Amino acid sequence: MYLICGLGNPGKIYERTRHNVGFRAVDFLTSNQQKWHLDKKSNSLTLTTDDLFEQKTEVIKPQTFMNNSGQAIAYVARYHHLTGKKIIVIYDELDLPFGTLRVRPKGSAAGHNGIKSIISHLKTEDFWHIRIGIRSNKTVKTPADKFVLQKFTLTEEKNLIEKIFPQIKQEIEKIINLQ
């Protein structure tokens, strides 16, 4: 079994913001699957399927807000007895140019509070990191905490759907095929 986690913030006001690109990536991956349900124990929207990547997969969107994502992810990982190599976390990265993907089998938080929370709760950096670059030319003019809550431009939206999200799917397939 694999655990695929998209990071973001719950609520309509955050839906299409840069900080929620992790939520949007898992929505893309699961678009032809059954509906999400709220798991109150993990405080996550969850979807369990055997059809995604031909593996039993639990996909979650923590509803704890970004900075507390580790609580939900650690709960689900413990429940399913999953180690880091079976956990894939997808999230935004302000330090990477828009559309750049970085896939690593482990790594530090590099200042990302959601990842700090996950590392703290899992007690390891040893899980798959899929970072999606969100930086643009507006980044230097806007404080980071404001920039990550902005929406993508129309051109960026098109690139997310047509290029970036399909590339993430390919990267996850590679991860699963490695094991």
Q: How far is residue 169's CA from residue 171's CA, in Å, rounded to a whole number?
A: 5
Residue 72 has pLDDT above 80, yes or no: yes
* Placement of tokens 């939520």 in the chain: 23
pLDDT tens string 125-135: 999 999 999 99
Enumerate domains of the chain plus CATH numbers: 2-178 (3.40.50.1470)
Bridge partners, residue 71, by sequence = none
Within a 13 Å sphere around the CA of 148, how many CA atoms are in the beta-carbon half?
Answer: 21
Read off the pLDDT of each residue in 49-64 and give the average, rounded to a whole number: 91
Residue 153's CB: how many other CB atoms inside 10 A? 12
Mean local confidence (pLDDT), 163-169:
98
State the chain's mean pLDDT as an integer: 94
> Average pLDDT for residues 8-23, to the nearest whole number?
95
Residues catalogued as catalytic: 19
pLDDT of 33 over the 80 cut: no
Residue 159 pLDDT > 90: yes
